[in-house]
Amino acid sequence: MNNIKIFIFSCCTCLFLFIGSAFAKTQPNVLMIMVDNLGYGELGVYGGGSLRGAPTPNIDTLAAQGLRLTNFNVEPQCTPSRSALMTGRHPIRSGTTKVVWGMLYGLTQWEQTLPELLSEKGYSTGMFGKWHLGDTDGRFPTNQGFDEWYGIANTTDESQYSSQYKYDGKVGLKPVVQEAKRNKTPTDIAPYDLDMRRQIDTDLTAKAIDFMTRQVKADKPFFAYVPLTQVHLPTLPHPDFIGVTGNGDFADSVVEMDHHVGEMVAALEKLGVTDNTIVIFASDNGPEEVAAYHGTSGYWRGHYFTALEGSLRAPFIVRWPNKIKSGTVSNEIIHMTDLLPTFAKIMDFELPDDRIIDGVVQTGVLFNENGKSAREGFPVYNGDEMYAYKWRDWKIHFIELNSMFGTPKKLNVPHIYNLTKDPKESYNIAPDSTWVLPVVMKKVIEFNKTLVKEPPIKLGTPDPYKPKG
C-alpha cells in the first residue's frame, strides 16, 4: 500500500513539475526598448530615416515584422510618460505629472508597477537605462519591482552639469551611473559626464543582452526594460558613430540607436527565443525643441512639454511572431496607460482592484481581433492642469501653448481642431464644430469626478502613503 502511495505521489510530482515547466515555456518574454524624446518623424517607417540623413534599417525591419501604430499617445514630459507605463494610471493620480529638480518626487511605494506584477507571475525583471521616477531610497527601480538595474536615476541633460559655465562641484549635483539589485542600496559606478553620455547606451545594450542570456539559460521568462538615453539632449553619439552619416551629431545618434536595437533583436535570435518574445520599440515623448538637438514630429506639429499632437504622438512598434500579423499598421488610438492592462491580459496577471486603472486592454488592435481601439480618447495633462482633451479625430485645447519655452494662455473659449483635416492644429474651427464641445465637456466632467472619488497623490508625498477612506 505504501509503495502505491509513493508511486502516486511521484507521478503527481512529476506531472506538477511538467505542467510548471510547460507553463514557464509558454509565458512570453518581453523586450521593451523605450527611447527618449524620439519624434514621430525621425524613423524611416514614419517618414524620416534617410530623409533626415539617418537611415534606420533595423527598426524599419522590426516594423515590417510586426505592427506599427500611427496613433500611439504618450504624456508631454518624461516622468509622467514613464509613470503611465509603470502603473497604467494617468500621472495626475500618482503625483508624477512633471519633471522636477531638487525635491522629493517619483512613484510612492503604494503604487503597483508592471515589474512588480510580472514578478508575481515568476518573471525575472531587469531594467537598463533611465528611470526618472525617483532618486531617493525606496524609489529606485529595484524598490519598484525590478530584480536588477543599471543606468541613471534622472535625466540625460544632467551629464552636462560638470562641463557647464562656472559649475561648482561643492554644491552642484554630481550625476552618476548606478546599479543595484532588488531592495539593495544602489552603487555608484561612474560619473555621468559628457564622456559617459556618449558611452552609456552601448553599456545598456550589453547589460540587457547579458540579462536576457542569463534568464534563457535559467529557463525563466523575462521582462527586459531598456530605456535608452538617445536621443535626449545632449544628443551626442558614441565615438564609434561620430561622423558616420556626415549629417551631424543628431543623425549619428539616431543611427547609433538603430544599431543598438538591431543588436538586442539579433541576440534574441541567437538565444533561440524570437518566437516567444514580444519586442516593443517606443518613444516616451515627442521631439526635443532645443536648437542644437531639435528633432521633428514629422506630419504633426509641436515638441514635448506641450499638448500639441507632435508632443503626444510617438513611434510604437510591436513584434510577436505568429501572434501579431507582420507588416500591419493601425491608426487606432492607443495610450501609454493601455500597456499595463494589455500585458495583464496576455500574461494572465491580475490588476489591482483598490485603485483606478485608466488603461484599457488593446488586444483587439494588437492581434487584429476586431481592429478597433477600446478607447475613444483621453485627457491631456501638462503638469497639474488639463491642457486639452483628445477624442476620436478631434482635439479640444483649453490652454494654448505652442512651445515648451512659451507662456501658457488659458483660452476664454476652447479651441477645436480636427486632426484629419488639420494635422498641424493651425486652424481653430470652433464656429463650425461646436457640437463637439458638449460631448467632450461631458467626458471632462466624468474624469474630474474620478479625481474626487480618488483624490490625487500630491507631488512630493513621502512614503509610506495610504489613500484616505
Q: Which residues are catalytic?
A: 78, 132
The pair phi, psi for residue 176, each rounded to 5°, is -140, 155
Cα gap 378→300, rounded to integer Å: 18
Q: Quote the CA–CA distance of 137 and 125 in Å, as a whole number.
A: 19
Select from 212, 217, 143, 209 the least CA-distant residue to 178: 143
The three state secondary structure string of 173-236 is: CCCEEEEEECCCCCEEEEECCHHHHHHHHHHHHHHHHHHHHHHHHCCCCEEEEECCCCCCCCCC
CA nearest 111: which of 131, 130, 129, 89?
89
For strands 377-382 and 385-391, give the pairing.
antiparallel
Residue corresponding to grid cell 539589485: 181
Residue type, 205: T
Q: How many CB atoms lie within 10 A of CB 367?
A: 15
Long-range pairs of 189-193 with CB within 8 A, sequence gap ≥ 24 = 189/150, 191/162, 192/152, 192/158, 192/159, 193/159, 193/162, 193/163
